[in-house]
Every structure is written in C-alpha cells, then in structure tokens.
Amino acid sequence: MDLRKLKTLIDLVSESNIAELEITENEGKVRIVKSGGAAFAAPMMPMPMASAPMAPAPALPAADAAPVAPAAATGVAIKSPMVGTFYASSTPGGKPLVEVGSVIKLGQPVCIIEAMKIMNEIEAEITGTVTQVLVQNGQAVEFGQPMFMVE
C-alpha cells in the first residue's frame, strides 16, 4: 500500500468517529485502530504468510533441546505488542540486548520490533532470568506471539 494513501487513511480515522478500519488489498492487509484520540496502523501479513513463520518457530527450540520445553510451561512469556520484524540487537550485527541466562529488570529493553519502518524498543514487563528466546533475528512476529520466556 502506498505510504501517502496510508497516511491519508490514518488522518481520516483520527478525525472521524470510526474506532477501527481494516483494508485488504493484493499486497496485504492494513488495520488502523484509534486509541485515545490517535490512530495507529499495524500491517497485517496475508494469511498464508502469517501461518508459515509461526509453525517453525516453536518447533526449532524443541528440536534443539528437549529439556528446555518444560521451562516454557513454568515461565512467563514476554509477548510481541505488535506485528513487525523482530531484531535481537539495536544495531545490525550488534550484541543481542538479552540472551538465554540474561537477568532482566522491569522496563529494560529486550528487543526491537520494526513496524511501518519505525523501530520500536520493547521493554521487559517483568523482572527475572531469560530461559528461552523463541524467535530468531529478522523473523516476522505477530501480535501476542511469545518472544521470550522468563522465570
């Protein structure tokens, strides 16, 4: 979708009584949701693409180390607050913000999610130790998808 068209749609939703707008085109789907007077646009992956990346993600950690699977059941998940691309570090090729075994504090940056060409720093919602990293650098993530397990 053309960026100018998207901005126009966001402005229209912001200025109207519409709370939510979803548009589907050949290139994909866009959903615009108004919250607190401002509109926010989240690109949505087409259905075939959305289901493909999600299937291998949980299978990879389980295949690598079977004893890690019980930790997922007892830990707390840090989930993606938006649709976008997951980046483990703040710079390309840089050291990951957190790794397995990292002790994190509430509000500490844990990853970057790129959405609509904007880099969004995601902060820890809890204090604890990272037991699993469930997504790979550069992988597409969905809203609510678990990215880290913390104990």
Q: Is the domain of 67 the same as that of 14? A: no
Q: Is the domain of 39 the same as that of 61? A: no
Would you say residue 87 lies in a domain? yes
- DSSP class per residue in 33-83: EEETTEEEEEEE--HHHHHHHHTHHHHHHHHH-GGGHHHHHHSEEEEPSSS
Q: Is the domain of 24 the same as that of 80? A: no
CA distance 84 to 44: 9
Q: Is the domain of 70 the same as that of 26? A: no
For the chain, the average pLDDT equals 76
Q: Is the domain of 126 the same as that of 92? A: yes
CA distance 151 to 138: 25
Note the pLDDT tens digit of each residue in 81-124.
999 999 999 888 889 999 999 999 999 999 999 998 888 999 99
Would you say residue 49 lies in a domain? no
Model confidence band, residue 64 (pLDDT cutoffs 50, 70, 90): very low
Would you say residue 50 lies in a domain? no
Q: Is the domain of 40 the same as that of 59? A: no
Q: Is the domain of 40 the same as that of 61? A: no
Contact (CB, 8 A) for 30 and 46: no
Give the closest residue to 6 by CA, choosing from 119, 115, 140, 139: 115
Q: Is the domain of 62 the same as that of 110? A: yes
Q: For residue 21, what are the β-bridge partners?
A: 32
Q: Is the domain of 95 the same as that of 37? A: no
CATH number, position 72:
2.40.50.100
Predicted structure pTM score: 0.51
Would you say residue 140 lies in a domain? yes
Q: Is the domain of 64 the same as that of 89? A: yes
Find the domain containing 91 and state its range: 55-150
Q: Is the domain of 103 the same as that of 145? A: yes
Instruction: Say which residue, 50 or 29, is predicted with more confidence.
Output: 29
What's the total number of domains in the chain?
2
Q: Is the domain of 67 the same as that of 20? A: no
